[in-house]
Structure 1
Amino acid sequence: MDNEPIKPGDSGSQADFIQNELNFDVDPKDTLTKATLEDHTEGEWMDVLGVGQLKKKVVKAGQPGTRPNRSDICTIKLTGKLEDGKVVEDHEKLTVQLGDVEVIQGLDLVIALMDVGEVAEVEVESRFAYGDLGREPDIPGGAKLFYTLELLSVEMEPEIETLGVAQRKEIGYNKRERGNWWYTRDEASLAVQCYRRALDYLDETKGGIVYPQGEPDESISDAALQALLEDRMKVYNNLAAAQMKTEAYDAASKSIDNVLRCQPKNVKALFRKAKILQHRGERAAAFAVLLQASKLDPDSKAIQQELADLKEKRAKDAKHEKNLYKKMLGTHKANGTSNKNDDSINQKSAKSKIAWSLIGGAVAAMAGVIVYRYDIF
């Protein structure tokens, strides 16, 4: 029966379960998957990714079976140090949403491998920390970081539809800011991830908004909804910029269309739309969009420079097309002259053949007369 309780040992280990045919998209041999499923022995270092760039050691075991899932709200305590022992991060209680890269990638991956109450030491190479850029003023580029990390608590993500406008706006804003942070670090893919999560909170069309009882009346006013819309447009605009960096131009075009559908005079959106059109080779359409943006913001140096560059490209295109046309036209003329010469030669040849035929006929007739006159028979 489906409702019968599962007895201990009936289903085997988690590793056995994920091999079930219904879980076809999970690879039990994947390094991170294995790390997630296995118990971690105290005092032993675990190579999380199998490449030596992220290591974890359990200092104090937590409550078994309490590991967080993606999108869970996790409260952590952490201390981060450089190799020389200098403390560069120190938080007694830091709340992050797992999987939304609200901390460095290395920590985001390790938190998913911890039980509530667990204390772990973590070593993170720069690739999964602050990279070659570092973090001003205290973390130099390429720095390896050493953390002491404790998972204090885990809560499930609340149903977005139950959150009020003010809550949605605050969460969406924070996720957008995190996306901006990743974008400035040239991590466009991570920025896209953050922007998409921000949109989950800022888009009131997904299931509508159910306002909790006791929420202030002003938070559900038209002005509050308009503010939510404006924040959403900012996120879509930023999302398009990040998608363009990853060369996902079709996706970027859809993001821009979402902005221009609500704000047809949004200058940033028009500028990015022109860039996308240029990438597609639609320079005439791009020029028209840039002209529209220029009228809305005539003092923009970026728009004026883009217009100048596009004019130059269009002039080169026109010159190239003109040269091609000339070459094609010249070939046709040459072919026409050749045909005329051939016709003339053919006509002369025909006339020559007729003349020689007449001469031949005349000679044959004269020979006949001579033979007739001087018959030797």
Structure 2
Amino acid sequence: MTEKEEIMDAGDSHASAASVKKNGRTSLLDSGEDFEILDEEDIDDDPPPPLEDAGGGKGKNMDESEKKNADSDSDPPGPVEEWMDVLGNDQLKKKVLEAGEGQDSRPQKGQNVKINLRTYLKDGTLVEEQPDLSFTLGDGDVIQALDLIVQLMEMGEKALVQVDAKYAYGVRGSLEPEVPPNSELSLEVVLLKATDAPDVELLPPPEKTALASHKRERGNVHYQRGDYAFAVNSYSIALQITESSSKVDISPEEENELMGVRVKCLNNMAASQLKLDHYDAALKSCVSALEHQPDNIKALFRMGKVLALQGEYTEAIQTLRKALKLEPSNKTIHAELSKLVKKNSEQRGVEQAMYKKMLGNPGGGSSSSGSQNHQAKSTWGLSWKWLFGATAVAIGGVALSVVIAARN
């Protein structure tokens, strides 16, 4: 049971537009990589929008190179033609090709948006084209560049985006769509629609389960790419969906299915939190998973690892032994348990040596302690003898007093 096996509880599946709708929720804006539904478009090979006439005797027969020179020598034509450095680091730039309906029409985080997207490599190679791409804005359902850019677009706007690999597919690239590692991309984006997400409490149980699974799978993508903070964000969103109350009828079977997704999210979240060294949070996730499924082996295994990392070796060993009892052939649990038993023994040896040192005479203390015991016994022997003699003298004195009094 490797971390990779644990995190891949479900394969990547393409989610429909309906499955990515939910309530508006506060979520991590800077989500990491794109996945199945990610369709990104880039710069069209169509000529750029017309510029204002620079004047100066240039005729209609002017060739394209002359036109480019004239364009570069002219004054900036206005905001529609200018590049916007979105983050101020020259790694994410946006240029408006066709203006939209005004700033009031911009979508908000948590809304479901629909865009036309075309994605190109820097050399102009078309990577992917997908019309009517739907996702929840700000949930990390797509590459980070799209989550950032679409929030700045107006309804009906067409924009050109240049994005560094950091805000696209990063150092690992992508297999689907096929993007080489560390690739800069050009995206052509048209914002078509933005609607409020439906109330998840009113969603039919199958749709709620599908939506939660979709968010969980997105978290798996982040995890596999090493974006553990973004993975935690996606799992958190999925958990919110599974834990929301339902205002529609739900059968026991549907409830169990939703519970299964919840436990998977908790397990995967614990794995991500372990990678981030957030041990308390990971332990809490494991405990929550075990409350729903006390014999969940993955939750027990991760809980044992967390306890060990916190130095709680005895509890960690007990937890791993319980997991091993449920799955005796699991080599991963065997290896982890053996390692912990050895480490616990070493720690106990160190503690015993420390205690001896604190008490003094860490080495060869037997003879010293023997003489100390002998001295203590001798002291007690003398004390008892003295006490007995003093008592006898006192009794004799009292008797003599009585005799003298009687004679008088």
TM-score, normalised by the number of residues in structure 2? 0.68
Instruction: Say how many residue pairs are matched.
Output: 291
When structure 1 is superposed on structure 2, of 286-295 and 319-328 the one drifting more is: 319-328
SS at match of 2:352: helix
CA offset at residue 319 of structure 1? Answer: 2.1
What is the deviation of 1:41?
A: 2.2
Give me the whole-angstrom Cα distance separating, in 2, the residues matched to 1:75 and 1:85.
24
The one-letter amino acid paired with 1:262 is: H
- CA shift digits 1:229-278 (9 cap, x unpaired): 11111111111111121122222222111111110000000001111111
User: What secondary structure is seen at the aligned counterpart in 2 of 1:42?
Assistant: helix
Establish whether residue 151 from structure 1 lines up as the match of residue 181 from structure 2: no
Counterpart position of 2:100: 62
1:210 aligns with 2:247: yes
Following superposition, the deviation at residue 49 of structure 1 comes to 0.5
**Matched residue type, 1:162:** L
Shift of 1:324: 2.5
Q: Which moved more, 1:326-335 or 1:313-322?
A: 326-335
Aligned counterparts of 1:84 and 1:280: Cα–Cα separation in 2: 50
One-letter code aligned to 2:175: E
2:224 is matched with which residue? 184
- Residue 113 of structure 2 aligns to a residue whose secondary structure is strand
The 2-side partners of 1:89 and 1:250 are apart by 41
Q: What residue in structure 1 maps to residue 91 of structure 2?
A: 53
Query: 2-side partners of 1:152 and 1:41: how far apart?
Result: 21
Partner of residue 121 from structure 2, selected from 63, 66, 82? 82
Opposite residue 249 of structure 1, the aligned amino acid is Y
CA deviation digits over 1:264-305, x for unaligned, max 9?
A: 000000001111111211000000000000000111111011
Task: Give the letter aligned to residue 175 of structure 1.
Answer: K
CA distance in 1 between partners of 2:284 and 2:355 (Å): 37
Which position in structure 2 is the counterpart of 1:139?
A: 179
Between the aligned partners of 1:326 and 1:51, the Cα distance in structure 2 is 60
CA contact (8 A) 1:164 1:210 kept: no
Q: Which has the higher contact order (CA 8 A, sep 6+)?
A: 2
Counterpart for residue 375 of structure 1:
none
Q: For 1:238, give the aligned amino acid.
A: N
Structure 1 gap segments, 5+ residues each: 1-39, 212-218, 344-377
Matched, 1:268 2:280: no
SS at 1:172 equivalent: helix
Bigger Cα displacement from structure 2, 284-293 vs 224-233: 224-233
Instruction: Name the counterpart of 1:97.
Output: 136
Letter in 2 for 1:59: L
Question: Does residue 235 of structure 2 align to residue 195 of structure 1?
Answer: yes
The separation in 2 between residues aligned to 1:245 and 1:67, in whole angstroms, is 36
2:265 maps to 1:235:
yes
Q: Which moved more, 1:318-327 or 1:290-299?
A: 318-327
Unaligned runs of 5+ in 2: 1-77, 376-408
Give the deviation of 1:323 after TM superposition: 2.6
Alignment partner for residue 342 of structure 2, among 312, 334, 341? 312
Aligned with 1:174 (options 191, 214, 218): 214
What is the SS of the residue equivalent to 2:116?
strand
Whole-angstrom CA distance in 1 between matches of 2:168 and 2:188: 14
Q: Which runs of 4+ in 1 moved over 4 A?
A: 332-337
Give the partner amino acid of 2:259: L
User: Aligned equivalents of 1:42 and 1:54: distance in 2?
Assistant: 17
Show the 5 A alignment for 1:249-288. Answer: 249-288=279-318
Q: Residue 82 of structure 2 aligns with which residue?
A: 44
Give the 5 Å matches for 1:340-355: none
Helix, strand or coil at the partner of 1:220: coil
Map Cα deviations across residues 168-206 of structure 1 (whole Å, 9 max, x no partner): 001101100000000000000000111111112111xx3
- The percentage of aligned residue pairs carrying the same residue is 39
In our comparison, the structure showing a higher alpha carbon Rg is 1
Q: 2:277 aligns with which of 219, 227, 247?
A: 247
